[in-house]
Amino acid sequence: MINIYEQALKLMNSNDIDHHESDLYLRKNPISDKLVKEYDYPKQITTFKDNIDHVMWYEIPCAYYTKN
């Protein structure tokens, strides 16, 4: 099973993916909308507006990780 972060890496531009610690951020667009719709824990996802570009992002708690 591929998690939402791995799916985003395959389908989205790197500019549309960010994180803070373990929280994953995906810029809101048709691809991220689809990923969020299919996510196993949709009630954990929130949105926010970027203070710099004023675009919407999804915040997905504990969905970012690095491979060691």
User: Partners of 57 in the beta sheet?
Assistant: 27, 48
For residue 10, pLDDT beyond 80:
yes
Per-residue confidence band for 44, with pLDDT thresholds at 50, 70 and 90: very high
Q: How far apart are CA 33 and CA 13, in angstroms?
A: 14
pLDDT of res. 24: 98
The residue behind tokens 């009630």 is 43
The pLDDT score that the predictor gives to residue 2 is 73
Q: d(Cα 16, Cα 9) in Å, to the nearest integer? A: 9
> How high is the pLDDT of residue 22?
96
At 15-42, the pLDDT tens digits run 999 999 999 999 999 999 999 999 999 9
Q: Which residues contact 8 (CB under 8 A, 6 or more apart)?
A: 16, 17, 24, 26, 31, 32, 35
